[in-house]
A and B are shown apart, each in its own frame.
Chain A
Amino acid sequence: MISFLHRYLPFITLFLVTIVSTSDYSIYGKSLGELITLQFIIIFAFRLANADANFGKGSLLFFVSIINDALQGLQFGTSALLYFTIFSVATYQAGIKLRSLFLAEWVSFIFAVTCCYIILFFIETLFYDNPFPFTLYGINFACTVVAYPIFWLIIQKIIYRNA
């Protein structure tokens, strides 16, 4: 049971965050979903904290991304492209690291999130034909990057401390 949880906790967490809408909670008039993209943090932090957290070799990650697309009313494949960008950077980082170095992980997280926003910019302008709300994305980027250390502490130092 414990090994099952150890292996599938990242997937279960990501799945629950996707299902239980973060729009229900707001801070200073902005919904939590607008401020922080929790999915990015969960994928990245869990992948680095736990070598077994490969989300069913990517298949479970794809499954969650389709659920997210359906619930958000997005074109299928949008979330998957973003999730796999984060996941691939985290996998690379997990491969080259010798020991857990927070600063290195944080910098690579910032790089991964930046890549996601660039992809999102192209998707929004090419596929959705939408104007790109730079301010909204800027706030989200800053809050997501700032929130990462908190989740890193919770995941690495509390959940997987004795793992």
Chain B
Amino acid sequence: MYFASPEKEGVKRNIIIFIFISFFLLLIDTYDRKYFRFIKSAINDTIIYSALILKYPFKKIVSVSQGVSEIFDNDVDVEEVNKLKNKLKTLKNQNESLNFQLKKSQTIVNEEQYDYNFINSKVILYKKNLLSNTILLSKGSEHGVEPGDPVVRENRLVGKIIDTNFVTSKAILLTNIRSRIPVSVGEKGYKAILVGNPNVEGGISLEFLPKQAKLKNGDKIFTSSIDKIVPPGILVGKLKIVTKVPQDPNMNFGRGKGAKPTIRNTNIIKMSIDLAFEINQLDYVTIMSLKK
């Protein structure tokens, strides 16, 4: 038989009180971005770094077990490392020279030039669950990071910043349902919008592709600049088109979600996008902050 004890009554009263407080917090957090923001940033930074400290022993246990299994792997080839170092130097030099040439050509054709600060940041947490698909970064508004700044890794787009605290910031990945990135696809540079879509393979789809777009397997996708939000020319990924028969080079794609092929392309089994980054590579990233 159920008897109402003072403790049970206290729990019931507290549930109602906390539900009201939660709803109130949700309203303030949504509509008051001015005063509550400072408190929220301070709370977020404290909790994030405290959680990192608490999580440290668990991470260590996992890394020790991984380390034990790696003992039995082959030794790292020193010669190979030296070769790679030399290659890196050559590529850096090539990059500098190409950047110089690019700037020169941009000046000649009178194209707008954007100047960005490159802020290197550590990925301190990666959350992928029902409520979020985000990464938390170790740089925040104190370091010049602002909402909307693109996040890249080795010149490949990863996502963009959506919220900043004082010393941390939150970025959504391209696969996040809230992600919308203007891109140009293929050699002819068809304009489209890359949309996070958890319902398709790879978690991403192309929308608003022109009707006359002719695409082929392996076509690369780069960012295209709109309102200086994302700098143009950053690699996003490539198209993966699976067909029943060898592909017709003049294949047309209709306008629609996921760039579905038109009726004429009955040979197409599916089309997906291979992103240029892998989530398990995201230990460090670079935030591109537009210089004021």
Contact = CB atoms under 8 A, between A and B. Distances in A.
Interface of A: 19-24, 31, 33-34, 37, 54, 57-59, 61-62, 65-67, 70-81, 84, 87-88, 91, 95-96, 98, 120, 123, 127-128, 130-131, 133, 135-137, 140
B132 interface: yes
Contact of B26 (A76, A91, A133): A76
A14 to B, nearest CB: 14
Interface in B143-198: 162-163, 170, 177-178, 198
B129 A91 contact: no
B17 to A, nearest CB: 8
Contacts, number: 139
Contact of A21 (B11, B126, B130, B199): B126
Q: How large is the interface on B (under 10, 10 to 19, 20 to 34, 35 or more residues)?
A: 35 or more
Nearest to B178: A130
B131 A74 contact: yes
A57 B9 CA distance: 10
Given A61-B18, A66-B43, A70-B47, A75 B129 contact: no
A82 to B, nearest CB: 9
14 contacts: A21-B125, A24-B126, A33-B128, A58-B11, A62-B21, A72-B131, A72-B134, A73-B136, A77-B21, A80-B19, A81-B22, A84-B18, A135-B198, A135-B199
Contact of B22 (A73, A80, A91): A80
A77 B22 contact: yes
The 9 closest A-B pairs by CB, nearest first: A33-B129, A77-B25, A77-B26, A80-B22, A70-B47, A58-B14, A73-B170, A77-B22, A75-B29
Interface of B is mostly: helix
Contacts of B2: 95-96
A34 B7 CA distance: 36
A54 B132 contact: no
